[in-house]
Structure 1
Amino acid sequence: MLSLAAAGFATTLACAGTAVAGTGPTPAPDQRPPVSTVPSETGNPLTARAQAAGVCSDAYQIGTTSYAYRGTEKIASVKQFYSPACKENYGYVWVWKSFLDKDITFDLQVGVWSYDRESLIGVRHEFDTHQQEFWGNGADTVNDCTSGDGALTIAGEQGTYAARTSKRC
């Protein structure tokens, strides 16, 4: 099995204190979900793809943003979101335009990593895609230690390009 560094993974596993994954203060006004339905790198729970995944409209980012690298090229951002209304966490991946411009078909997996259960929860898979925005399904992990988790695989290339956000407990 390849180590994360050997496989080209960029992973941030710094602990963010002792708050439960979905707890903490309400986000500042500049962190609240936008009112438009336009997809963005920051993550918009009102987009068509977010709604298709069942993301609650009040979801906002918790924890850090992490990045997946293909060699030295940054190819995707990974985030974790929390919805107070639905009491669910969501994984989020935004594939960078500079990578998409290469017209490479890839598979993508996104979800919430539960450290308590040692498994990926709310996982969604997309195969043979060129999409930019990916949301995981709702994960009932608010009482777990969690991270947003995303992995991109390219046919014919060894390994997976993945990232995991900071651990939220």
Structure 2
Amino acid sequence: MSTAVRSLTALAAAMALVLGLSLSTASPAQASPMCSDAYQVKGTVYIYGDQSTPVASLKQFYSPSCGQNWGYLWVWQWALDAGYWLRGELAVYVQNETLQGTVPLGRYQEFYTDAVPGYGKCTRAYLSASIYGPNSSTSVEEVTAWGC
């Protein structure tokens, strides 16, 4: 490698650090399976595990035109960069029924459940997972508030 290329590579890395940019390769974003009018139901649940800063965010969405619900999990970039990942499942819990739309978790940044019929039903997003970090692991079970 030439001296000029090495110098430019070092300069780019230094600028990225100064600007707070990550040089790691992020997991590709998953295309949203939600209908275009989907909106968030109730509030966001922050997933901490054994950290003081959230590792992930859990949300539920509903689409009036499709009559469908989705659970959604976003793993924060700082956590991915630090080597955190989740193993478990994301689902939508339909009141007086079972978990539906269940999807497995892995080494990605975002997850969507399969679409779950939600019109006229009370639903909530559900997460059951182990959070693995560089030096620890923690089990979590979280749900969003009921959306009825």
User: Could you tell me the TM-score, scaled by structure 2's length?
Assistant: 0.67
Alpha-carbon separation, structure 2, partners of 1:145 and 1:139 = 11
SS in 2 for 1:103: coil
Q: Determine what percentage of the aligned residue pairs are the same residue.
A: 34
Alpha-carbon separation, structure 2, partners of 1:133 and 1:84 = 23
> Alpha-carbon deviation of 1:120?
1.4
Higher helix proportion, which one?
2
Alpha-carbon separation, structure 1, partners of 2:93 and 2:31 = 19
Opposite residue 116 of structure 1, the aligned amino acid is N
> Alpha-carbon deviation of 1:158?
6.3
Question: Equivalent of 1:88, from 65, 68, 78?
Answer: 68
Q: Structure 1 residues 164, 72: CA separation in 2 closer, same or farther (over 3 Å shift)? A: same
Alpha-carbon separation, structure 1, partners of 2:31 and 2:138 = 28
Question: Equivalent of 1:101, from 64, 76, 81?
Answer: 81
Q: Structure 1 residues 76, 148: CA separation in 2 closer, same or farther (over 3 Å shift)? A: same
RMSD: 2.5
Question: Equivalent of 2:124, from 139, 143, 147?
Answer: 147
Residue 76 (structure 1) aligned with residue 56 (structure 2): yes
Tell me the matched-pair count. 118
SS in 1 for 2:66: coil
> Alpha-carbon deviation of 1:90?
0.4
Higher RCO (CA 8 Å, separation ≥ 6 residues): 1
Q: Structure 1 residues 85, 153: CA separation in 2 closer, same or farther (over 3 Å shift)? A: same
Gaps of 5+ in 2: 1-27
1:92–1:150 Cα contact (<8 Å) kept: no
